[in-house]
A and B are shown apart, each in its own frame.
Chain A
């Protein structure tokens, strides 16, 4: 029987973040790759904030998240809530919970979306309140839902800061892409990782040093030029150029798709799928965050496309389309700084058109139609031999896309598509499913390589000799000659042939 509390329930409202908090409070954040997180640290540090990324989420975090919030969360919610709570608990042991509540605040992306992403805070708040850390401050970057962060005046998520953050994330994407295209072929184990660390530190410094004007035009001009970051990328390239590789090793290419958090992070939340696949002999084609940013712009554009009768619809639509163009132009500029090695971002209209017969592009939540669009794109455009789809247990939108994929599989029966349900604690089951398809992907890659040798009229040793003669830089645009595999495309290029 309940006892009347005499006080109506109130949703959590964080204390404001004051200007004096800026001096003493460390902003915590997480949920991205270590590269992006390091660069965001640079962005915050350069803007005068103390900031640090949370440690990579682990299985212990998953269990903690499950234990403290209402049952039935999607696994990314459990991982991220548990990750924050465990960090705070460890810190509390060392310095007391009051000190922790005063010294840290958590900053994360909110959302006006329909899935739980927009309601993450509820799980965080419940978990923290169950531990007596009610006064801990959680801030959600969401314009439609002011959360009190701005109230104290100390946290200024200005366009200048956000634009630096976006460039930092894009630069991290570029570094990750290069890293994943070198590591499987490196001749000295660990060389790529070392280069990546050095590259990220170059960029960290550039993000920290970047001085962005406060006015809108100044921000736009800086974003387009951002000389410091571009120069840092060129320096980063030199670190990668020092990695010796043999790209004629035949490896299946596996495209990672799926729910945003799971496809992005590299660790326990997705069974360390990236490193597992590499260990199993694959080349991983990771999922850059920039596609997601472009998707958000596309989704917002659609809003105005559908409502031409609303005031300023044409203007807003034009502005969003321009923003998308600028985003991709900038990303291409960053790719060029890496001699064109990072993959080109698939265009949103392309993904939408590919997905259209199976999944409507107007449906929101999660990755929307992108999950389907990306799978078909990777398969039909020879971008990968296999697609590993990371599907979080308990995810609402993702289950729907997976259902619609049944129709896609009917139309593309030869697509190697592994939907891996990620619960956080059923690794063997998911990885063995992946293993089965990977075996088939390997044999397809080998068969494709044989066809490439045949088409190019070269033997493997001739191809190797010719590759050595060309003495091209390691970081350079790789040919695309109708094969999915890196080695096959290279052979075709050496022989001037196409598949």
Chain B
């Protein structure tokens, strides 16, 4: 689903005089936190501003080696693992690249763009997603400015990704010193290009997920829903647990990639809309009142989708060590899923250490349950969707 954001940005605007700009400028972006849901945006955005695509450089995915090598003594606080890792990414971009970058761009993401945007109270980032860069920077300037020492310009604007007009103002102000003569219109156009590319990528991922779910349902094959923050897709943060599950033969679909196809959503939520219990396919107010946080809202919505979709027989919840945002959601997410009989498992407190032992045991458990019960779970969910109360009763009794 493409989200319309700008009406006139692509209208012809006088092209900026770029002669003062460095044609070989290299921009380094730490691959952290919500970069996992917006990398295409930033690549296309900088490309539109004249940076060569190959010169938009991301730090590598989080790894133990990266953290050990680059964040030594930099981490200033004890907090959730994904934020703790920022220092390692900064360090890698500052000192670990063969070809150094000129700019380290690390936006402080105050709000995010979300397909739930108009259905929820707000689309804020987690306070640590917002301020993580500020905290990490502290460790790099405490004993002398490491950015200046590496000849790197540190640019870290506050960005409201959900508001294009404001975003353009914020980015123009922050990037004008890097791109002399940068105008508001030029930034707006770059933002539109960015979202276009991101939307295409998202649409593709959702399309693939749609096909997988359809196939699973057709073939009565269980799929697993992975519920987490976007950065749980980072192999160093989520520890590739989803791959272990895939290896057992179960397709795993991230909540972030669930299809938004109207026909499908109508099948899942139409009845509730017609009887007035939901205002729209994207309404979550009946299960989650404080819908301020974009990632949390989407996670709750994905849980509700997973609870209803017949092909999703199990859901696996990812949560990082000392995550504050997830804490109040543990029970609601589990209850949403279990209310319709979807199996629920969770990996909590994920940190630097891959929980290999528990992943193995849990994977075996999940396989065991899916082998034994997935058919009945899927039949029952289908019966629940079609309102066949008698079938639901029979299937539930055989369950007990």
Interface string of B127-140 (1 = CB under 8 A from A): 11011101111110
CB pair B130–A403 under 8 Å, yes or no, is no
A458 within 8 A of B: no
* Contact B127–A363 (Cβ < 8 Å): yes
In the assembled complex, which residues on chain B have CB atoms less than 8 Å from the CB atom of A318?
none
Q: Is B4 an interface residue (CB 8 A)?
A: no
Decide if B108 touches A363 in the complex (CB within 8 Å): yes
CB distance from A183 to the nearest CB of B (A): 34
Q: Contacts A400-B135, A404-B131 hold; do A115 and B324 have CB atoms under 8 A apart?
A: yes
In the A-B complex, list the 7 residue pairs whose CB atoms are closest, starting with the nearest.
A403-B135, A365-B127, A406-B138, A400-B131, A122-B328, A397-B127, A2-B338
Q: Do A11 and B332 touch across chains, with their CB atoms under 8 A apart? A: yes
- Indicate whether A363 sits within 8 Å of B142 (C-beta atoms), given known contacts A3-B400, A119-B328: no
CB neighbours of B290 from chain A (8 A): 110, 118-119, 121-122, 145
A355-387 near B? 1/0 per residue, CB < 8 Å:
000111011111000000000000000000000
Instruction: Say if the beta carbon of A436 comes within 8 Å of chain B.
Output: no
For residue B331, CB closer than 8 A to chain A, the reply is yes
Can you show 21 pairs from A to B with CB atoms below 8 A apart? A4-B384, A10-B287, A73-B327, A115-B127, A118-B290, A118-B292, A121-B289, A121-B290, A122-B328, A122-B331, A122-B332, A307-B163, A307-B165, A359-B131, A365-B130, A394-B322, A396-B325, A397-B127, A399-B83, A399-B128, A408-B138
Is B343 positioned at the interface, with any CB of A under 8 Å from its CB? Answer: yes
Residues A144 and B76 in contact, CB atoms below 8 Å apart: no
Give the A interface residue count (CB, 8 A): 59
Residues of A within 8 A of B322 (CB): 72, 394
Q: Chain A interface: which of B95-103, B118-126, B210-218?
A: B118-126
Chain B residue nearest to A4 (CB atoms) is B341
Are B292's CB and A113's CB within 8 A?
yes
The reply to whether A403 and B293 form a contact with Cβ atoms under 8 Å apart is no
A399 touches B124 (CB 8 A): no
Nearest CB in chain B: distance from A118 CB, A: 5
Q: Does A407 contact B (CB under 8 A)?
A: yes
Q: Per-residue 0/1 for A108-151: is the Cβ within 8 Å of any B Cβ (1 yes, 0 no)?
A: 00101111101101110010000000000000000011010000
Which residues of A in the span 399-421 have a Cβ within 8 Å of any Cβ on B? 399-410
A403 and B139 contacting across the interface, CB-CB below 8 Å: yes
Q: Specify which chain B residues have a CB less than 8 angstroms from the CB of A365 in the assembled complex.
A: 127, 130-131
User: Which chain B residue lies CB-closest to A400?
Assistant: B131
Confirm or deny: A6 has a beta carbon within 8 angstroms of a beta carbon on chain B: yes
Task: Please name the residue on chain A nearest to B287 by beta carbon.
Answer: A11
Per the CB 8 Å criterion, the residue count for chain B at the interface is: 71
Minimum CB distance partner of A372 in chain B: B134
The distance in angstroms between the C-alpha atoms of A407 and B147, with both chains bound, is: 13
Residues of A within 8 A of B233 (CB): none
**Are A406 and B327 neighbours in the complex by a CB distance under 8 Å?**
no
Residue of A nearest to B340 (CB): A4
Tell me if B323 is interfacial: C-beta within 8 Å of chain A: yes
B134 with A362: CB separation less than 8 A:
no
Most buried by A among B131, B322, B399: B131
Inter-chain CA distance A397–B80, complex, in Å, is 11
B338–A404 touching, CB < 8 Å: no
Residue in A12, A71, A407, A408 whose Cβ sees the most chain B Cβ within 10 Å = A407
Q: Flag whether A461 is at the interface (Cβ < 8 A).
A: no
> Is A7's CB within 8 Å of the partner chain B?
yes
- B330 contacts chain A at the CB level, 8 A cutoff: yes
Chain A nearest CB, measured from B284 CB (Å): 9
- Is A315 at the interface (CB under 8 A from chain B)? no
What chain A residues lie within 8 Å of B348 (beta carbons)? 71
A396, B135: Cβ atoms closer than 8 Å: no
A9 and B287 contact, Cβ closer than 8 Å, known pairs A72-B327, A112-B121, A404-B131:
yes
Contact B131 A397 (CB under 8 A): yes
**Nearest-CB residue, chain B, relative to A10:** B286
- Measured between beta carbons, the chain B residues less than 8 angstroms from A410 are 141-144
Residues of A contacting B122 in the complex (Cβ-Cβ under 8 angstroms) = 112
Contact (Cβ within 8 A) B76 A3: no
Cβ–Cβ contact A145 & B121, under 8 A: yes
* Beta-carbon contacts under 8 Å, A172-212 to B: none
Is A395 an interface residue when CB atoms closer than 8 A count as contact? yes
Give the residue name and chain of the A residue nearest to B163 (CB): A307
Q: Is A469 an interface residue (CB 8 A)?
A: no
Please state if B332 and A71 are interface contacts (CB–CB under 8 Å): no
Residue of B whose beta carbon sits closest to that of A407 = B138
CA distance A354 to B161 in the complex (A): 27
Complex Cα distance, B377 from A4, in Å, reads 9
The closest CB in chain B to the CB of A411 belongs to: B141
Interface centre among A7, A72, A407 (most CB of B within 10 A): A72
B339 interfacial by beta-carbon distance below 8 Å: yes
Assess whether A72 is in contact with B326, with CB atoms less than 8 Å apart: yes
Given A145-B121, A397-B127: A403 in contact with B344 (beta carbons within 8 A) = no
Asked whether B78 is an interface residue with its Cβ less than 8 Å from the other chain, the reply is: yes
Give the distance to chain A from B390, nearest Cβ to Cβ, in Å.
12
With the chains together, A363 CA to B129 CA distance in Å?
10
Q: In the complex, what residues of B have CB within 8 A of residue A11's CB?
A: 285-289, 332
From A8, A71, A144, A410, residue with most partner B Cβ within 10 Å: A8
A3-B399, A70-B330, A115-B324 given as contacts; is B289 within 8 A of A407 (CB)? Answer: no
Are the CB atoms of A144 and B121 closer together than 8 Å? yes
**Does residue B18 face the partner (Cβ distance < 8 Å to A)?**
no
Instruction: Looking at the assembled complex, report how far the CB atom of B274 sits from the nearest CB atom of chain A, in whole angstroms.
Output: 15
Asked if residues B324 and A406 are in contact (CB atoms below 8 Å), the reply is no
Which of A70, A115, A400, A404 is close to B331, meaning CB atoms less than 8 Å apart? A70
Tell me if A116 and B324 are in contact (CB < 8 A).
yes
**A147 CB contacts on chain B under 8 angstroms:** 289
Known contacts A396-B127, A404-B138, A410-B142: A5-B76 contact under CB 8 Å: no
Tell whether, in the assembled complex, residue A9 and residue B336 are in contact, meaning their CB atoms are under 8 Å apart.
Answer: yes
Verify if B264 is at the interface (C-beta below 8 Å from A).
no
* B328: min CB distance to chain A, Å: 4
- Contact yes or no, A4 B138, CB < 8 A: no
Q: Which of A38-59 contact B (CB under 8 A)?
A: none
Interface flag for B166 (CB, 8 Å)? yes
Q: Is the CB of B396 within 8 A of A3?
A: yes
Whether A359 lies near B396 (C-beta < 8 A) is no
Establish whether residues B166 and A71, one from each chain, have CB atoms under 8 Å apart when the complex forms.
no
Once bound together, how far apart are the Cα atoms of A317 and B286, in whole Å? 34
A9-B336, A365-B130 in contact; A403/B324 too (CB < 8 A)? Answer: no
Q: Taking each of A6, A11, A113, A366, which has the highest tally of chain B beta carbons within 10 Å of its own beta carbon?
A: A11
Any A CB within 8 A of the CB of B362: no
Is B134's CB under 8 angstroms from A364's CB?
Answer: no
- When distances are taken between beta carbons in the complex, the residues of chain A under 8 Å from B136 are 403
Q: Cβ of B3 < 8 Å from any Cβ of A?
A: no
Chain B positions within 8 Å of A401 at CB level: 131, 135
Question: In whole angstroms, what is the CA distance A409 to B158 when docked?
Answer: 23
Q: Is the CB of A4 within 8 A of B392?
A: yes
B6 touches A (CB below 8 Å): no
Min CB gap A148→B, angstroms: 10
Chain B, residue nearest A365 (CB)? B127
A74 within 8 A of B: yes
- Given A2-B338, A363-B108, A399-B135; A71-B327 close (CB under 8 Å): yes
Q: Within the assembled complex, what's the spacing in Å between the Cα atoms of A2 and B342?
A: 7
**List of A residues within 8 angstroms of B141 by Cβ:** 406-407, 410
Alpha-carbon distance between A119 and B380 when the two chains are bound, in angstroms: 33
A112 and B292 contact, CB distance less than 8 A: yes
Q: Are A407 and B142 in contact (CB under 8 A)?
A: yes
- CB-nearest residue of chain A relative to B139? A406
How far, in angstroms, from A275 to B336 measured CA to CA in the complex?
46
Residues of A within 8 A of B139 (CB): 403, 406
Q: How far apart are the CA atoms of A113 and B80 in the complex, in Å?
A: 19
